[in-house]
Amino acid sequence: MSHDRISPHAAAAPLQYDVLIVGSGLAGLSTALLLPADKKVAILTKRSVTEGSSGWAQGGIAAVWGQGDSFDAHVDDTLVAGAGLCDLDATRYVVEHAPEAIAWLQQMGVPFSAEEDGQLHLTREGGHSARRIVHVTDATGAAVQQTLIAQVRKRANITLFEHHTLVDLITSHKVASKSGATPADSTRATGQNGLQNQCLGLYALDDSTDEVLTFRAPHTVLATGGAGKVYLYTTNPDTATGDGIAAAWRAGCRVQNMEFIQFHPTCLYHPHAKSFLISEAVRGEGGRLLLPDGTRFMPQHDERAELAPRDVVARAIDFEMKKGGFDCVYLDISHQPKTFLLEHFPNIYARCLELGIDISQQPIPVVPAAHYTCGGVVADLAGRTDIAGLYAVGETACSGLHGANRLASNSLVECMVFAKASVEAMAQAGKQPDLALPPWDDSRVTDSDEMVVISHNWDELRRFMWDYVGIVRTNKRLERAAHRIALLQGEIQEYYAHFHVTRDLLELRNLVQVADLIVKSAQSRHESRGLHFSRDYPQLDPDSKPTVLAP
């Protein structure tokens, strides 16, 4: 899929920063705010700074905060949800640093919901053995994002580049191969010529001018979120196109566990409710899942009923919908007082009421939808990737925390914990090789008069990924998906090579690459575990390992 447009001629001066951060969700904003004030920081985001997945998070942030809870209990719950594939060191690291992350958000000014005595109100979600979800009613992500965006705008050392789309990373190996130069020696030497590949910066498309700009920095952080838009139905915003995962793969990074796509069990089913999530906390506070005739079905699928982990609940709903031929099932919380619902779920209540659904009187129609990418770019406990100077934080990364299934509300805290760890790692990092960065070369391409190719391929990709690589998979479905992906890759490669890049083209290129990684990972796992369920391999292998793909 890679097609370099690096010019061999002398470079125009790139935009120079100490740290480049791609993405403006919680992972990116936290990294920027935790960096020292004397560091010159650029945040690149492909739409406005507010349009990321973090702002859509409703439930909250998991942290051991209340009496009777413990780090060991939080770790155990995470390991159970992760179905044997969580990295224990990463899990314990995040859990033990979670309270510190909550305290930092309080310092930033996040208005967490509190009890009358001033203590933080804690709710409970599926898979958790205790109340440990810190929240801001049912709009935690939005409150956190608004608070941190306001803080970022106050910082003179941080520059926001809105409507700038990542095109590709610039690495020492890529530059050296074009120029014939030899990259400077490295103490972490691996790869080409025995020397470690290093990230020198990136190319980004400025939507306002259609110009590809060159950015340079000794440190680049990928915080671009997941890839939910590879599926037809998703709770993710339109920005979730796997940009960081695809760019890191093209640059030479390994990816891990891409077969584990979490489908949130309860997305509002309504023609005018695009991607609206019904929080896990609704089931945590007593919500019951019902068939259209009012029959409760979760106790027949799992002894934990509605409080079972998301993969169990999503598969149960998928099973009942296919068995009965239903368009949706129903989530009923109407037994709770209206005052309780308005206090705990004001946004869900208001949105449903706008659509003619009074959740205090009637159940909510729901369907599963792609929600979270558990896999991603392989990253260590400091957020470091296989390429020196390149970090991956948040949903873009695979830290090992989530294993085969993410425990509810562990994602936002992961963003903050690894943001801080990556900042600390940057302070200890060595120098970059002194290589001139070549400018972007578009001298041999033209404007496209066939944009229909992009829209058609985007639609085709999302539909066959939903049909063939969804909640339940088979070998034959995966083979069909792989065949179609190969055809799309050829078409997009040809298109990319001959026409000026656009945001739509770049997003489609990335989605097809991520789809390929998901299918290859799924084909390599010959068992059913966590979020990956195969009819051909329904058993659970006693000795299973993460799926790691290398370019």
- Active-site residue list: 310
Residue 225 to residues 59, 61, 415, 510: CA-CA distances in angstroms? 18, 17, 10, 13
Alpha helix positions (H), 135-290: 140-154, 172-179, 243-251, 280-284
Contact criterion met (CB below 8 Å) for 469 and 519 = yes
Q: Is the dihedral of CA 474, 478, 479, 481 positive or negative?
A: positive
Map residue 41 onto helix, strand or coil: strand
Compute the C-alpha angle 378/237/160, nearest 5°. 75
Map residue 268 onto helix, strand or coil: strand
Q: What is the CA radius of gyration of the chain?
A: 23
Q: Residue 105: is it exposed, middle or buried by C-beta count within 10 angstroms (0-12/13-18/19+)?
A: buried
Show Cβ contacts of residue 68 under 8 Å, excluding neighbours closer than 6 positions: 130
Map residue 122 onto helix, strand or coil: strand
Residue 349: CB atoms within 10 A of its CB come to 20
Phi, psi (degrees; rounded to nearest 5) at 504? -60, -40
Contact criterion met (CB below 8 Å) for 193 and 182 = yes
Map residue 323 onto helix, strand or coil: helix
How many Å apart are CA 211 and CA 490, to the nearest integer? 25
How many Å apart are CA 145 and CA 148, to the nearest integer? 5
Compute the C-alpha angle 529/25/431, nearest 5°. 95
Amino acid letter for position 65: W
The strand pair at 376-378 and 397-398 is best described as parallel
How many Å apart are CA 72 and CA 139, to the nearest integer? 28
**Which residues lie across from 263 on neighbouring strands?**
370
How many Å apart are CA 145 and CA 139, to the nearest integer? 10
